[in-house]
Each structure stands twice: as C-alpha cells, then as structure tokens.
Amino acid sequence: MTQLESHAVELPPVQTGDESLIILESLLCVMREKNLLSRQDLELLCQKVDRRAAGISKNPLPCCPDKAANARNYLQRLSAYLGQRYGGKHLRRVG
C-alpha cells in the first residue's frame, strides 16, 4: 500500500438523482444571487410543491408519497437557507 492509498478519503456512494439535485440547488442559488428569483418566488414554489405533494394539485407529483414529502421538506429547508443568505421580502399574505 502506498502512502497515497493509506490517506485516501472514502467518498459515500452517489445516490440516484444526486447529480440533478446538486445542479438544481446550484441553479436556484445562482438565480437568487442574481436577483432573478425573489424570496416571494421561492415561497410560491414551496406552496406549489406542497400542493403537488399533498395531491391537491391538477398535477400531483408522480412519485411515492414519501418522496413527495421529502421533496417538500427539502425545498422548505433550501428556501429558508436562501432567505437567510440573500434576504428579501416575504410573500404578502392577503387574508
């Protein structure tokens, strides 16, 4: 065993969809950074995913309920991160 091999870092296996998730996450960050995507847009996106995951949309997510719930939770965490990092106005609630 060489010195390089003894210090090699073992990376976790790549899960299906990880590449797409990284690209989409990075795209949302770039769009938010360049003010092409507002905090309000992210909140609307979260609402749309919530409706689709709950199956109350005209176009429910075509996957199992667990994956839809994971997508909803992940997007909410990402939206909170982007909101803290880049700020911006929240969606105006009309009630």
Cβ atoms of 28 and 37 closer than 8 Å:
yes
Convert the pLDDT of each residue in 3-56 to its tens digit. 545 555 565 666 667 788 888 889 988 998 888 988 888 889 888 888 888 877
So what's the pLDDT on residue 4? Answer: 47
CA proximity to 74, closest of 22, 36, 35, 30 = 22
- Locate the domains of the chain by residue range: 38-95
